[in-house]
Amino acid sequence: MIRAALALAAARAAAPLDAETTKRLDHLQDLLHQAHTTPLPTWTVSHEDADSVEWTPRAKGSAKVVEAGVLRGISVVRKRVICTDPIATLALTHKRSKRPLPKMEKHCAEAVAELFFMEHLRGRPGIPVLRGAWYTPQGLEYVVDDAGPPLLMLGEHKKVAREMARKRPLRLAKALLECFRSFSEEGGYFLDDLTWRQFSVREEPGRPPVITIVDGPKALDAPVRSYLGASGHVLPLPNSTACALNSQCPATRKHHSCIDNGVGTGRAGLVDAAALAAWNATTACYWRPGSRAQGVPERAAAPEAEGWCASFDASGVRAKHCVPWSSKTHVYDVGSRGWALGFLEDHARNAVSRRIVVGLRRKMVGKAVAARPSFSEALAWLAARASGIKEGLL
């Protein structure tokens, strides 16, 4: 059984770059390296346009300043990242080093990677729309469409999120699956900073809801790795770590794997005490009991996220090598997390819709990678079962 599971463990590879996308990414690379300052043909906002907007502060952290505004009737967001020498930083990302980038350079490299991410996957569901980017004396600025409030919303807006989940759980499930398919299955990216705050939801009258990823994830097997550099915003290439025990396999960040300090485990894991203390319906690390109604939270991380050493040679997996993280890891995440499909199961008003969400979750949380559907397969499964169910629009 284990041998059969490992034989099918490899998830489908990210889609290769087409000629048009490659041309845009080459253009972006030249612009960032200051070979020229000509904006990409897909961009519609200039530095001068952005300076004319009356911006309202939205967030200010160590990485970036985020402001919201309206430009030509479109709600947009401006992100500003401090980077004193962006050209030197870009050069550092293309030098292989065991030392991590200094903090400021790391944030700058993350912002650059986000630009490549948005341009790479332009037009796909759940991907932010990049309107323009430029250097300033302080660093890098860019403007994107405002994708809406956080997925589960905050304060009084929580009622809106619950109402959407009650009335339109299958539409929201579709939007969530499409977003993850875009960046992980088709794009080859991995979000190890996994939390509901990394996603926004937008709903307009007469249109189905759209869920959008907020910040650029790390490149896993994405075809943009060569643009980002070996020390850029990337993860180790899949299946590259030799091992003899599960404990020798790297875990994802604890935001994702929910274990301490990225130490691999034998799938029992070390519980993140802070997450356990604050456990509720939306905690990142646990499965919302929902219809199972169990009083003890169940861990929500996929086995390979905690560290899993393969026992057999098989297609896509080498014996005595760590089972790689992939889009199938995120398939498990969407099924297991209490803030994702778990939130929809918990709030769906229609009993038939709830059963569909429960069935989808069970399909997506197979322990063996091969037991999980791809996001495309999950979407097809959902469409087949939701075809006769009417969910109203806003």
Contacts of 88 (CB under 8 A, 6+ apart): none
Q: What is the pLDDT of residue 139?
A: 92
Q: What is the pLDDT of residue 141?
A: 96
CA-wise closest residue to 300 among 264, 272, 263: 272
Q: What is the pLDDT of residue 154?
A: 66
Q: What is the pLDDT of residue 81?
A: 95
Strand partners, 286: 299
Q: What is the pLDDT of residue 378?
A: 97
Q: Could you give the domains of the chain?
A: 2-10+153-386 (1.10.510), 19-145 (3.30.200.20)
Q: What is the pLDDT of residue 286?
A: 59
Q: What is the pLDDT of residue 67?
A: 96
| pLDDT tens digits in sequence order for the chain, 394 residues long | 444 444 444 455 788 899 999 999 999 999 999 878 899 999 999 999 999 999 999 988 777 899 999 999 999 999 999 998 888 888 888 887 777 888 888 999 999 999 999 999 999 999 999 999 999 999 999 999 999 988 887 666 778 888 999 999 999 999 999 999 999 999 999 998 888 889 999 988 889 999 999 999 999 999 999 999 988 899 887 766 889 988 888 888 877 887 654 343 433 333 334 434 444 434 556 555 444 434 333 557 888 888 888 887 765 678 898 888 999 999 999 998 888 998 999 899 999 999 999 999 999 988 788 889 999 999 999 999 998 888 876 5
For residue 138, the number of C-alpha atoms closer than 13 Å in the C-beta half-sphere is 8
